[in-house]
Amino acid sequence: MLYVEGLTKTYRTGDSELPILRGVNLSVEKGEFVAIMGPSGSGKSTFMNMLGCLDRPDSGTYVLDGIEVSKQNDQQLALVRNQKIGFVFQSFNLLPRSTSLHNVELPMMYAGISRSERRKRAMEALKRVGLGERMNHRPTQLSGGQKQRVAIARALVNRPAILLADEPTGNLDSRSGTEIMAMFQELHEQGVTIILVTHELDIAQHAERIVTFKDGVIMKDERVEERLTAVPSDEVILT
């Protein structure tokens, strides 16, 4: 599903060079739920941007769902983001002036899906995250948890290969956070491949695998023994 080898990235400011990623190798299977952890400055955010095709590595290979992303141009990357990746951000990143429905329709608009089909699928997606009653609300009329659910609906509506969540509970109160994590669990059970960036261990422990970054490389890559759900991980991989 996702395969990364020898990924490097260095930022240059003036004369000084700041290596952020120094050869990252990782592979994620379809249906896996992976948490990425690490202190700030460890390179996990940059890595996330690479996975999300928002940034390109200096060297190394990144293959997503059979596409060698590291060799694509800007326009092709936009298509990959549109078709293969669903983003969930810490700050929700909904269009503030648009309704939930329109926000969820947005990726399908860039995918060139017809209006009626878009509307139908957006409504289904919103119902799926329990916001069937909030379709015509604007983000300002929604709670944090609801906003994040709209974002999840939007992330999933184009049926992406991976769901990338960057601190999805960071701006939520603990009750909403738990709610959102339960939703990730549910999606995981349905077979969605999820990569979650967090710095909180208890959030990371919702995943079945925790990858820890330090100084631009993966320092630890371990299975989570203490599962919060009863579903065995190998059963999920089969779906």
Partner 1 sequence: MNFWEALRTAIDGIWANKMRSGLTMLGIIIGITSVIAVNTLGEGGQRAITSEMEKFGQNSFNIYTDYESKEEHSNDDLTVEDAETLSRISPYIERLVPYNQSNSIVKGPKKEERVNVYSTTAHYLEIQPTVKISKGRFFSEADDKELRAVIVLEDELAKKLFGQMNPLGQRVRMGDNSLVVIGTYKEEKFRFDMSQTYGAYIPIRYDLSFQEEPFVSTLIGKAKDKESVEAAMKQATQYLSRKHQKENHYRSFSMQEQVNQFNQLTGTLTIIFSVIAGISLVVGGVGVMNIMLVSVTERTREIGIRKALGARRRDILMQFLIESLIVCLIGGLIGVLLGLGAAALVSYFAQLPPLLSWNSIFIAFGFSSAIGIFFGLYPANKAAKLDPIEALRYE
> Where does this chain bind partner 1 (CB under 8 A)?
49, 52, 54-55, 74-75, 78-79, 81-83, 87, 89, 93-98, 106-107, 109-112, 154, 158
Q: From the CB of 134, what's the least distance to partner 1, in Å?
A: 19
Q: CB nearer to partner 1: give 49 or 233.
A: 49
Q: From the CB of 169, what's the least distance to partner 1, in Å?
A: 18
Q: CB nearer to partner 1: give 155 or 210.
A: 155
Which residue, chain included where needed, has tokens 């609801």?
Answer: 146
Q: From the CB of 231, what's the least distance to partner 1, in Å?
A: 30
Q: CB nearer to partner 1: give 107 or 145.
A: 107
Q: CB nearer to partner 1: give 95 or 201.
A: 95
Q: From the CB of 109, what's the least distance to partner 1, in Å?
A: 5
Q: From the CB of 14, what's the least distance to partner 1, in Å?
A: 18
Q: CB nearer to partner 1: give 82 or 212.
A: 82
